[in-house]
Amino acid sequence: MIQASQKGRAMSIRVRFAPSPTGYPHIGNIRTVVFNWLFARQQNGGFVLRIEDTDRERYVSDALRVIEDSLEWLGIDWDEGPGIGGDYGPYVQSQRLAIYKQKAEELIDTGKAYRCNCPTERLEQVREALRAKGKTPMYDGRCREKPMGAVSPDEPHVIRLKVPPEGTTTFHDMLRGEITFENRLIDDQILLKSDGFPTYHLAVVVDDHMMEITHVMRGDDWIPSTPKRILLYRAFGWELPIFVHVPLVLGPDGKKLGKRHGATSVDEFRRQGYLPDALFNFLALLGWAPGEGEEQEVFSREELIERFDIRRINLSSAIFSYDKLDWMNGYYIRQMSEQKLLQHLIPFWADAGLISTPVPTEMLPTLRLLVPLVQERIKTLRDAVKLTDFVFVDIETPPVEELIGKKMTAKESLTAIREVQHLMGTLVQFTAEAMEQPMRDLAETLGLKAGQLFGIVRNAVTGKRVSPPLFGTIQALGREQTLKRLENAEKALVAHIEAQQKA
RNA sequence: GCCCCCAUCGUCUAGUCUGGUCUAGGACACAGGCCUUUCAAGCCUGGUACAUGGGUUCAAAUCCCGUUGGGGGCACCA
């Protein structure tokens, strides 16, 4: 953690991630967080985590914990925030209510805001009427016209911003330039709700100002409501931060990524067996590219920090490609040391109920044998489970058709199985290296292609047509299990041949 | 409905700001091939894109305008 910035460090940039604990952080928001974090780390600036828990109705109790866990898992650290504090705290908005209230009252005193006690039903009616006329639904300003004091501070009410009825409001976006809105289409935004909590607009402006945030980088779904906040900054007489609206991340259907798109929360990606470094790399490249003819796709965190450039963020939204993420994750897996991969794999085997944790010492050699076998075959860590489950649990003897080799009879297959049984039973060293050549020799002796023989054995021993390399698999399985499964296969073939003869 | 943003292969993108070097490059995915005990991995090859109409210019993917398309927003939600 770097020391929280002092006011004197005017040169230092400060950005923030300000999630609302109404759900788990999803991958689209996190992509924007990645941009913020990369920028902060590159500029040696501050990265602030602030919790915007001003919606009491949608509050999810464990969301804060999951948000923190997700960030930590992805290797995104923050310099100030809940738990660790900082010079600008508290960093949880529900602990700052007095500030927002005071700021809202200030605006009433200066004539920039007013109290409104219109009931919800009336507001809905007003909006509906405007909608029916094809106009933008918004508040009609009834309470705005009332004399000061008409709505008592003691009765239930909200505080609204007085938006100029005419003219335009323009702000500068670092990526898009000037964006202009007509004031007559901007609603008299509620700043303070009747429950005493601020709305997003008030809280974010007050906090970004007080916390000296220099760059407000967020999704471009916030563009249409930005003028409301620009007006707020002006009402307070505060300097504007630099606005950077980054494009949204879309689901495969082209719509804003959300709960309906299946696995979207960071937590789900973790559970599915994605590596944090791979996900981070992928996310950094979603809507941003180093350019300059660069064709590299895999970047270390350090490289990304070094090369990230806000100005190179794309303007159009990007569809989240699970295919490319899978490829990248597989790539990272292949780059990993076997020892490291083993450590990553253990929790997944354990979750599947295939092994217990802590891993029993006698189980470790088996796992170590399995790692190189699966390493280049899996795209996610969880893929290893299906690829190796037969090593840990008993298999069903496969249907007899699977035990008969290509272009072979049942009898020939039976002979082959018996020869393999003999071979496996008499091997001095039960290792992949020791069995490969004898097995190849055996195939030749039997007049079979290696593939024919190995196919039969693969089915007999793994119960599958597709498996990791056969000899490594057999070694991992061990002599006892191998012989047992070969015996079962032999019995199945014998039964099949007898049945054929009777018919 | 109104407002705002955006527009290069199916997808992520390079190239657009500083027009010519772009018969548009890379990656993922897909197809074929090689390798091979299956599946992968790896290597090789292939197809697919400047939304559209008008300008400006000797020259436009690149600049301007319209159209179309896509997305987002219009709450006492963030």
Question: What DSSP line would sit under A156-175, residue for residue?
Answer: S-EEEE---SSSEEEEEETT
Per-residue pLDDT, A9? 45
The pLDDT of residue A296 is above 80? yes
Q: Is A227 left (phi over 0), alpha (psi -120 to 50) or beta?
A: alpha
* Percent of chain A predicted with pLDDT > 70: 98
Cβ-based burial of A436 (10 A; exposed 0-12, middle 13-18, buried ≥19)? middle
Which one, of A10, A19, A12, lies nearest residue A76 by Cα?
A: A19
Per-residue pLDDT, A195? 95
Q: Residue A156 CB closer than 7 angstroms to strand B?
A: yes
Quick one: tokens of A488? 């079962």
B15 closest protein residue (CA to C1'): A293
Per-residue pLDDT, A258? 78
Q: Give the pLDDT band (50/70/90) at residue A7.
A: very low
State the catalytic residue, choosing from A259, A324, A340, A411: A259
CA of A432 to C1' of B68 (A): 63
Q: Give the pLDDT band (50/70/90) at residue A11.
A: low
Per-residue pLDDT, A4? 41
Answer yes or no: A259 catalytic.
yes
Report the 10 Å Cβ neighbour count for A21.
22
Q: Is A254 left (phi over 0), alpha (psi -120 to 50) or beta?
A: left
Quick one: tokens of A301? 């965190």
- For residue A250, the cross-strand partners are A256, A319
Q: Residue A129 CB closer than 7 angstroms to strand B?
A: no
Quick one: tokens of A68? 């923190």
Quote the mean pLDDT of chain A. 94
Distances in Å between the Cα of A136 and the Cα atoms of A126, A165, A490 are 11, 14, 78
Please, what is the Cα angle at A52 between A46 and A57, to 5 degrees?
165
At CB < 8 A and 24+ separation, what contacts does A62-71 make?
Answer: A63/A21, A63/A22, A63/A23, A63/A24, A64/A21, A66/A24, A66/A25, A66/A265, A66/A267, A67/A19, A67/A21, A67/A24, A67/A25, A69/A267, A70/A24, A70/A25, A70/A30, A70/A265, A70/A266, A70/A267, A70/A270, A71/A17, A71/A25, A71/A33
Per-residue pLDDT, A212? 97
> b/e for A193-228, b at 16 or more Cβ within 10 A?
beeebbbbbbbbbbbbbebbbbbbbbbbeebeebbb
* Protein-contacted bases of chain B (C-beta within 7 A): 1-8, 10-15, 25-29, 37-42, 70-78
Q: Which helix (H) or strand (E) holds A122?
A: helix A120-132
* Percent of chain A predicted with pLDDT > 90: 87
The pLDDT of residue A158 is above 80? yes
Mean pLDDT value of segment A408-436: 95
Predicted confidence (pLDDT) per residue in A429-472, tens digit: 999 999 999 999 999 999 999 999 999 999 999 999 999 999 99
Instruction: For residues A93 and A503, give the distance between their C-alpha atoms in angstroms, rounded to a whole number.
Output: 81
Per-residue pLDDT, A148? 85
Per-residue pLDDT, A501? 86
Q: State how beta strands A190-192 and A46-49 pair.
A: unpaired
The structure tokens 């498996």 sit at: A467
Q: Residue A197 CB closer than 7 angstroms to strand B?
A: yes
A221 neighbors A249 (Cβ within 8 angstroms): no
Per-residue pLDDT, A382? 97
DSSP A313: B
Predicted confidence (pLDDT) per residue in A24-36, tens digit: 999 999 999 999 9
The structure tokens 């490829």 sit at: A327
Distances in Å between the Cα of A321 and the Cα atoms of A233, A251, A279, A347 are 38, 8, 12, 26
DSSP A238: P
Q: Residue A501 CB closer than 7 angstroms to strand B?
A: no
Per-residue pLDDT, A1? 36
DSSP A178: E
Q: Give the pLDDT band (50/70/90) at residue A317.
A: very high
DSSP H helical segments within A398-469, as ranges? Answer: 400-403, 410-426, 432-445, 450-462
Q: Give the pLDDT band (50/70/90) at residue A81.
A: very high
Distances in Å between the Cα of A296 and the Cα atoms of A18, A172, A185, A293, A323 are 32, 33, 46, 9, 18
The pLDDT of residue A10 is above 60? no
Per-residue pLDDT, A402? 92
CA of A383 to C1' of B54 (A): 55
**Strand B-contacting residues in A 383-442, CB cut-off 7 angstroms:** 436
The pLDDT of residue A132 is above 50? yes
Per-residue pLDDT, A36? 98
A165 neighbors A304 (Cβ within 8 angstroms): no
The pLDDT of residue A287 is above 80? yes
End-to-end CA distance of chain A: 79
Instruction: For residues A124 and A384, give the distance between their C-alpha atoms in angstroms, rounded to a whole number.
Output: 54
Q: Residue A238 CB closer than 7 angstroms to strand B?
A: no
Residues 6+ apart with CB under 8 A from A289: A312, A314
Which one, of A34, A74, A47, A77, lies nearest residue A286 by Cα?
A: A34
Instruction: For residues A370 and A166, give the distance between their C-alpha atoms in angstroms, rounded to a whole number.
Output: 71
CA of A282 to C1' of B32 (A): 29
Instruction: For residues A375 and A380, give the distance between their C-alpha atoms in angstroms, rounded to a whole number.
Output: 10
Instruction: For residues A453 and A444, give the distance between their C-alpha atoms in angstroms, rounded to a whole number.
Output: 10
* Cα-to-chain-centroid distance, residue A389: 27
